Amino acid sequence: MTTNDSPFTAKAVFAGGCFWCTEAVFEQLDGVGAVESGYAGGSPEAANYEAVCTGKTGHAEVIRVDYDPQRISYEQLLDVFFDAHDPTQLNQQGADRGTQYRSAIFYANDTERRAAEQKIAALTQSGKFTKPIVTTLEPLETFFPAETYHQDFARANPLHPYIQAQATPKVCKIREKHPGLVNPGQ
């Protein structure tokens, strides 16, 4: 975790499907100090894996990224976010289905909201995606950390079949598309 004198002073919260996959993608970025899996969008009482899996809590599986804005910008994090998942799939990523797997950006302030709106507009105009982007922009009210066993799951379980089939390809895709953003020590 970060300390008060840490350069990792900014935070961003993204939902791009399963938090195991999203966490693995962002952990490899230079300028990212920590990535924590969690929940956002619902009540404190429902911020647990068993409840969130029902798809009825309002929560999404999210990650909170602690980063150094002098080394990686919020806009670069948005680039990685949109390249790491399919933002045109409504309430799912691959075989994972339900509102808890929605594509969402949980913004903490108007600057983040505007940056996300501009990114979506630019991607839409570019024609990069053949279907409309369904990523929601939601105000971040509270981030709830996920249970301990979810933290660093891909790193701790690299041979897990789900990690090999889902997370590893996303990690590799970002390494290929954004080699300048990947921490050379990763």
Catalytic residue positions, numbered: 18
Q: What angle do CA 159, 143, 10 make, to 5 degrees?
A: 90
